Chain A
Amino acid sequence: MYVAVKGGERAIENAHRLLAHARRGDQSVPELTLDQISEQLGLAVDRVMSEGSLYDRELASLAIKQARGDLIEAIFLVRAFRATLPRFGASEPVDTGAMRVQRRVSSTFKDIPGGQILGPTFDYTHRLLDPSLAEGFVPEVPATAEASTAATPRVTDILGRDGLIESSPEAEDGASVGDLTREPLNFPADRDLRLQNLARGDEGFLLAMGYSTQRGYGRNHPFAGEIRFGEVEVEFFAEDVGFAVPLGSIELTECQMVNQFKGSATEAPCFTRGYGLAFGQSERKTMSMALVDRALRARELGEETLAPAQDEEFVMSHSDNVQATGFVEHLKLPHYVDFQSELGLLRKLRKEFAEANTPDAMKEAAE
């Protein structure tokens, strides 16, 4: 019995020993190294870094190994570690316009300054299982070319030149950056907190929410203005020296969705923005995030709010998979005490029901 007052401790110990054994699997198979995970399961690492809110490939790889490939468990491990780290400030906003682009596609224009760059992508692969991967597989040397020096202006900036899209809100100088990991969340929440919540939010949840907007639940027909993936510099303003110093570079995926807006009494019709940003190559995540971000702006833009994806409180309260999994899985914990009281009540109610429906009682009621 897993509840036994004595013996529980040994049961837990044994369970964890068994888990370690199961995690390792057949010991005649070579053990996974962190490098193998980081290099060959790169997109899993990217997802764990994004939703774990910690940019560290090695720790994310370790978490994936320890979690037996369960990514939500790995995200949980990373989050729990991250919570112990001191926070010494916020970086300068990264300039994604200056990104060293590995991939960049726009579905709004046939050609764009700087060009469309497919980069490493599953797009247009036919999903036919490839038996050659089962054995030792040496990929062909990739085609290379001189890195282009052409500027790659953001597509939304090109639209912005003609005033066809709403301008991006500017950050107020000196305004502090909201952080829902350090402050309690209040509704209505501002867009910075919403975007932070979505960036940490579960990819599957955001995908379903974004999908629902495309299928008509809070419709706002979007175009993928641009999706870009590459490396950007992170800078930090150091008070001591009085200027921004580079901290290093990180890989990011950014998605700008272009959405319709019919205008209002005071504003001419123009396109509106939905925004997504995540660590590593996370296209599904950033696209979903951009769809939901735009849906959550419904009230601000004076649109009807009827669908789940437009409901800020609903989305923000349920997007976090570490919170969600904890509460769903808490149902595994003992509930004997409250269950016992329910059981007692139910027995009482059934008894009363039976008494009220005996032939005698029925006769009485009829008279």
Chain B
Amino acid sequence: MNAPAYNFAYLDEQTKRMIRRAILKAIAIPGYQVPFASREMPMPYGWGTGGVQVTAAILGLDDVLKVIDQGSDDTTNAISIRKFFAKTAGVATTTSTHDATVIQTRHRIPEAELNANQVLVYQVPIPEPLRFLEPRETETRRMHALAEYGLMHVKLYEDIARFGHIATAYAYPVKVNARYVMDPSPTPKFDNPKMDNCAALQLFGAGREKRIYAIPPYTQVVSLDFEDHPFEPYRFNAPCALCGAENSYLDEIVTDDKGGRMFVCSDTDYCEGRQAAGHHGSLSAAPYKEKAGSHG
């Protein structure tokens, strides 16, 4: 039997080259969705194959990789992707935002400020911000080409007419470099301001939809809004129950079936860092901790 052999970081060099060319084009035209020939990856489409391909294409031997999912280093998908690169590329991995050179993320931007030596790789399920207003790709491509974004403003206006405010909580559309309207991937809108004028390169990979786009460092990113209804990042009005943080994005955790709830930082590295520095919330212990050594 032919035992399959795999290249550094799984993808072959030709494929990496093709992806790097798409990335370069994406950087040159901020917010523009560059089509690329996405490959079948050894994990399902929609589970981060776009991010994984971008990471595989930019990863070097000296890189230190961090993978987060919903802000956490410990969720199953983050662990799985981190293990994949530890196995196929043998790169060092970390859970520390500060120590990482490449951070692959799903649904969050780390709380800690990123620096110019870092690349943030987003996994994107639906790259097209106009998709839910117009399902046809042929139409949305034309709308982008003509910068015809009236439909998006109408949608936001309809929200205001109906609810008194814009009813989009995540994947909140942004305008990049005063040209392209872009989907920031399903990050909560709380994270949108972190994209603006960011020191780190931000790359977005959508495997199933075969698109790559980018925000170069120090690029203007503006969340769409109206003068009289300005953009507001939403956050639960509670401190983190573990580290007491007042300014981080929080997850709601159901503690029983009688209405019990607690709120904790979704960025686990940030939360643990604060706890190690002596900050405490109302509940000091995490709700669930894996027993040391229980997985041999």
Contact = CB atoms under 8 A, between A and B. Distances in A.
A126 interface: yes
Contact of A131 (B1, B77, B132, B254): B1
B84 interface: yes
Given A158-B257, A219-B132, A126 B84 contact: yes
Contacts of B167: 262
B254 A215 contact: no
A113 B132 contact: no
B76 A126 contact: no
A129 interface: yes
B162 interface: yes
B135 A216 contact: yes
| Residue among B3, B43, B80, B254 facing the most chain A CB atoms (10 A cut-off) | B254
Contacts, number: 67
Interface in B67-96: 70, 72, 76-77, 79-80, 83-84, 87
Interface stretch (A29-37, A104-112, A250-258, A310-318): A104-112
B255 interface: yes
A89 to B, nearest CB: 33
Given A110-B251, A131-B3, A215-B135, A126 B257 contact: no
Nearest to A152: B257
A124 B80 CA distance: 6
Given A123-B76, A127-B43, A131-B1, A161 B253 contact: no
A162 B261 CA distance: 12
Interface residues of B, number: 34
B106 to A, nearest CB: 12
Contacts of B287: 111
A345 interface: no
A157 B256 CA distance: 12
Interface string B249-275: 001111111110000000000000000
Interface residues of A, number: 28
A111 B72 CA distance: 13
A111 B253 CA distance: 6
B126 interface: yes
Interface string A1-15: 000000000000000
B254 A158 contact: yes
Contacts of A118: 76
Contacts of A115: 288
B131 A109 contact: no
B88 to A, nearest CB: 9
B126 A215 contact: yes
A124 B72 CA distance: 16
Contact of B42 (A111, A126, A217): A126
B186 to A, nearest CB: 9
A153 interface: yes
Q: Which of A110, A113, A157 has the most CB of B within 10 A?
A: A110
A153 B84 CA distance: 34
B182 to A, nearest CB: 17
Contacts of A262: 162, 167
B254 A126 contact: no
Given A127-B43, A128-B4, A161-B258, 14 more contacts: A111-B287, A113-B256, A123-B76, A124-B43, A124-B76, A126-B84, A128-B42, A151-B257, A153-B257, A215-B126, A216-B131, A216-B135, A217-B135, A307-B135
Interface of B: 1, 3-4, 6, 41-43, 70, 72, 76-77, 79-80, 83-84, 87, 126, 131-132, 134-135, 162, 167, 251-259, 287-288
17 contacts: A109-B254, A111-B255, A112-B254, A113-B255, A124-B77, A127-B41, A128-B42, A129-B4, A215-B126, A215-B131, A216-B126, A216-B135, A217-B135, A219-B132, A221-B132, A262-B162, A307-B135
The 7 closest A-B pairs by CB, nearest first: A216-B135, A127-B42, A124-B80, A153-B257, A216-B131, A126-B42, A219-B132
Interface of A: 109-113, 115, 118, 123-124, 126-129, 131, 134, 151, 153, 157-158, 161-162, 215-217, 219, 221, 262, 307
